[in-house]
Chains A and B, each alone.
Chain A
Amino acid sequence: DVVMTQTPPSLSVAIGQSVSISCKSSQSLVYSDGKTYLHWLLQSSGRSPKRLIYQVSNLDSGVPDRFSGTGSQKDFTLKISRVEAKDLGVYYCAQTTHFPRTFGGGTKLELK
Chain B
Amino acid sequence: EVQLVETGGGLVQPGKSLKLTCATSGFTFSNAWMHWVRQSPEKQLEWVAQIKAKSNNYATYYAESVKGRFTISRDDSKSSVYLQMNSLKEEDTAIYYCSSGGGFAYWGQGTLVTVSS
Name A residues whose Cβ lies closer than 8 Å to a Cβ of B: 37, 39, 41, 48-51, 54-55, 60, 90, 92, 94, 96, 99-103, 105-106
Name B residues whose Cβ lies closer than 8 Å to a Cβ of A: 35, 43-47, 50, 61-64, 97, 102-110
- A49-B97, A100-B47, A105-B44 are known contacts. Are A41 and B104 too (CB-CB below 8 A)? yes
Contacts of A99 in B (CB 8 A): 61
Contacts of B46 in A (CB 8 A): 103
Does B47 lie within 8 Å of A51, measured CB to CB? no
12 additional contacts, CB 8 Å, given A49-B97, A49-B104? A48-B107, A51-B104, A51-B105, A51-B107, A94-B104, A96-B103, A100-B61, A100-B64, A101-B47, A105-B44, A106-B44, A106-B45
User: A33 to chain B: closest CB distance in Å?
Assistant: 11
Which of B43, B102, B103 neighbours the largest number of chain A CB atoms within 10 Å of its CB? B103
User: B5 to chain A: closest CB distance in Å?
Assistant: 11
Contacts of A37 in B (CB 8 A): 102-103
Does B43 lie within 8 Å of A101, measured CB to CB? no
Q: Which residue on chain B has the smallest CB distance to residue A49?
A: B107
- A48-B108, A92-B45 are known contacts. Are A100 and B103 too (CB-CB below 8 A)? no
Contact partner, A51, options B44, B64, B103, B109, Cβ 8 Å = B103
Does A48 lie within 8 Å of B109, measured CB to CB? yes
Q: Which residue on chain A has the smallest CB distance to residue B102?
A: A96
Q: Which residue on chain A has the smallest CB distance to residue B63?
A: A100
Contact partner, B45, options A49, A51, A55, A96, Cβ 8 Å = A49
A60 to B107, CA, bound (A): 14
Does B35 lie within 8 Å of A54, measured CB to CB? no
Q: Which residue on chain B has the smallest CB distance to residue A60?
A: B105
- A92-B45, A101-B35, A103-B47 are known contacts. Are A54 and B64 too (CB-CB below 8 A)? no
User: B16 to chain A: closest CB distance in Å?
Assistant: 25
Q: Which residue on chain B has the smallest CB distance to residue A41?
A: B104
Q: Which residue on chain B has the smallest CB distance to residue A55?
A: B103
User: B40 to chain A: closest CB distance in Å?
Assistant: 11
